[in-house]
A and B are shown apart, each in its own frame.
Chain A
Amino acid sequence: MTTPAKTIIQFENVTKRFGKMIAVDDVRLSINEGEFFALLGPSGCGKTTLLRMLAGFETPSAGRILIDGEDISRIPPNRRPVNMVFQSYAVFPHMTVADNVAYGLTIEKVAAPERARRVEEALALVKLDGLGGRKPDQLSGGQRQRVALARALIKRPRVLLLDEPLSALDAKLREQMRSELAQLQDKVGITFLIVTHDQDEALAMASRCAVMNRGLLQQVATPGDLYEFPNSRFVADFIGSVNMFEGRLLVDEHDRAVIETSELPTKVYLDHGVTGAHASTVWVALRPEKIELHKRGQGTPPPDLEDAPANHNLAAGVIRQITYLGSESVYDVEVTGGRTLRALRSNLTRRDQEDFVCDEPVWLAWHACSPAVLLS
């Protein structure tokens, strides 16, 4: 995108309390036009409440919500320029597919010929051509979801809200719908705001994600940045799998840092400084696929790491468990000192899975740019 992004949704210090419980805590967030934005977090983190406030089913206890610069906090749901795809799909069981899709237009009193044309268009868009006469109980779960999608899109909303849209589908269908949703968004050009607890879903579809925890916005970033540059232990742990150590910052200069941790036999060396570190306690997050496995036996020297001093970023251990996943294998390695680290290795050839066996002594090694240092 070359043109400067235009803000479409703005949450200004939005708080929502249910009795004593704070569901959403002082959230500030801007979403741009045309984005595929994901609200990601564990259940009960407040993401659905945020979505429901945008749709108008909940009223913020404090703060404002703006769409196109206009405060919509007090506008009832039926007069907001947003439409929602419900988690349960909420397809009207007493109406045919076509009547369901046409519902919003019927309310708007759109003339019958135009209505019929747009229903046909919308059904074609979600690949339900020819099923307009069916009743919802004659459809599969995936088809019902498409009806819900068509029903919301036909209104041409400014923002389409999707509440856990894929959670009720089976794994295969979920993957297919993921790419279809992304394609659909590309085609209609409407801003999509999706709520999900499934990190894979968010990473795969979204152009930007917001991670929430206990009502607080933890981090807003692109999927790549969330994964590689998490800003907290929560985000690092929530997105993907991670090896985490608590440590002490020994050296912190602009081009290098050294962290000592009791959980590893060696020190961790970084090729960059740690900004904003006021206390000496930090956490190191190391993704399994960034840990290399090397043979360790009599007469085999430790692997030579070009980007770290000797005895840094290197740990001796013994493989305790191997989980073969086809495209990759997961190795749980117990290092000296007792801590178990997880390493991931792609099976690049058909023989790769035979390289290591259980109870084999190995070296674990990683590059100086691989660990993420977290301050909270």
Chain B
Amino acid sequence: MDEAWTRAKGVFAALAGPPVVWLAVFFLIPLGVIWGYSFGENASLTHIAVNGTFANYAHAIRPLYLGIIVKSLCFAGLTTVLCLLIGFPVAIAITFASQKTKAWLLLLIMLPFWTNLLIRTYALMAVLRTEGYVNQALGFLWNGAGRIAAVFGQSIGTFTPLELLHNNFAVVFGLVYVQLPFMVLPLYAALDRLDRSLLEASLDLGASQLTTFRRVVIPLALPGIISGVLVTLIPSIGAYLTPDLLGGPSSMMIANVIERQFKTANDWPFGAALSFMLMYMTFIAIAVQAVVSRGRQARAT
């Protein structure tokens, strides 16, 4: 079976050819160009001379930029953890819902994909801003509490709206909001594949629901958890729109800095170097992981 394609080489080439060409022309070549720029410098306003300099990288590892990269990683990490904590119960609820409810719940999870990210982010601003719905609701409750307090001759003062927008909180909140479906779907896929009788067997053998979750559900859902974490973490690190619109002056993430280099600062070589910093870090992480898992395999056998 798995050698079938080697026998029909022509068919294989015909099928695999177009995507390979597409990837090469529109992904690998532009990526290579940017990579080349990262070793160059601005020769004039419109011309970049690729002269093999490492100056851009030297610039990129200065504390200011490293700090922003680290902050981006922290935001993305926090987003991923929150998505996992919120997404797991949601995925479980969908898995155990009746067939009919399940379809509706999945539709609800995917509904945001039909709205443009920009629109959704502006909607979130309407919710979080000083006169937004959250503050309105809180103000309403506060005034109610104030009236009750007045009955007892107490005063709790006037309501000061919470600053929910243009800070780090807003960025993480927005990222969780955007990324949650990407966490829920792989988790749901993993949980849905889980044989229910395994859960029943665990209960039958005396385990509580919590123990069953810990010893059976989590280990068996691990592939789903890993892919959920990856598809949440990676886009979060490079998030651009969310920190740009919801963040304050100090919540800039690496993508915002890169954007500035390419646009306002017109320093493409430095922007390219910053872009590739993330890529190098990913490669290093993958390499480390490969070495570690190979070591573990070697020990296991």
A-to-B contact residues, CB < 8 Å: 55-57, 76-79, 82-84, 86-88, 90, 92-94, 103-104, 107-108, 148, 151-152, 155
Contacts and interface: CB of A to CB of B under 8 A. Distances in A.
Contacts of B203: 56-57, 76-78
B154 interface: no
B195 A107 contact: no
A348 to B, nearest CB: 47
Nearest to B198: A90
B243 to A, nearest CB: 39
Given A86-B197, A90-B195, A78 B204 contact: yes
Nearest to A108: B206
B197 A88 contact: yes
A-B pairs, top 3 by smallest CB distance, nearest first, are A90-B201, A104-B205, A90-B197
Interface in B187-203: 195, 197-198, 200-203
Contacts of A83: 204-205
B220 A151 contact: no
Q: B interface, by DSSP: helix, strand, loop or mixed?
A: helix
B97 to A, nearest CB: 16
B219 interface: yes
Given A88-B197, A107-B211, A55 B219 contact: no
B216 interface: yes
A148 B202 CA distance: 12
Nearest to A151: B205
Nearest to B220: A94
B25 interface: no
B84 to A, nearest CB: 20
Nearest to B199: A90
B207 A107 contact: yes
B126 to A, nearest CB: 43
Contact of A103 (B195, B200, B205, B208): B205
Given A83-B205, A107-B205, A77 B200 contact: yes
A340 to B, nearest CB: 44
A104 B206 contact: yes
Considering residues B204, B207, B211, B220, which has the most beta carbons from chain A within 10 angstroms of its beta carbon? B204
Given A88-B195, A92-B216, A93-B220, A107 B200 contact: no
Contacts of A152: 204-205
Contacts of B208: 78
Contacts, number: 59
Nearest to A83: B204
A305 to B, nearest CB: 55
14 contacts: A56-B203, A56-B204, A77-B203, A78-B205, A78-B206, A79-B206, A84-B204, A86-B197, A88-B197, A103-B215, A107-B205, A107-B206, A151-B205, A152-B204
A117 B151 CA distance: 71
Given A55-B204, A77-B204, A107-B211, 18 more contacts: A57-B200, A78-B203, A78-B206, A78-B207, A83-B205, A84-B201, A86-B197, A87-B197, A88-B195, A92-B198, A92-B216, A93-B220, A103-B215, A104-B205, A104-B206, A108-B206, A152-B204, A152-B205
Contacts of B201: 84, 86, 90, 92, 148, 151
A108 B205 CA distance: 9
Contacts of A92: 198, 201-202, 216
A93 B221 CA distance: 12
A83 B201 CA distance: 9
A151 B204 CA distance: 11
Nearest to A55: B204
Nearest to A148: B201
A87 B195 CA distance: 12
A107 B204 CA distance: 11
Given A84-B201, A86-B201, A94 B219 contact: yes
A92 B219 CA distance: 10
A70 to B, nearest CB: 17
A107 to B, nearest CB: 5
A154 to B, nearest CB: 9
Nearest to B207: A107
A103 B203 CA distance: 11
Interface in B144-190: none
Contacts of B204: 55-56, 77-78, 82-84, 152
Contacts of B215: 103
A355 B202 CA distance: 59
A197 B215 CA distance: 33
A92 B194 CA distance: 11
Nearest to B211: A107
Contacts of A88: 195, 197
Interface in B247-291: none
A335 B195 CA distance: 53
Contacts of A76: 203
A86 B205 contact: no
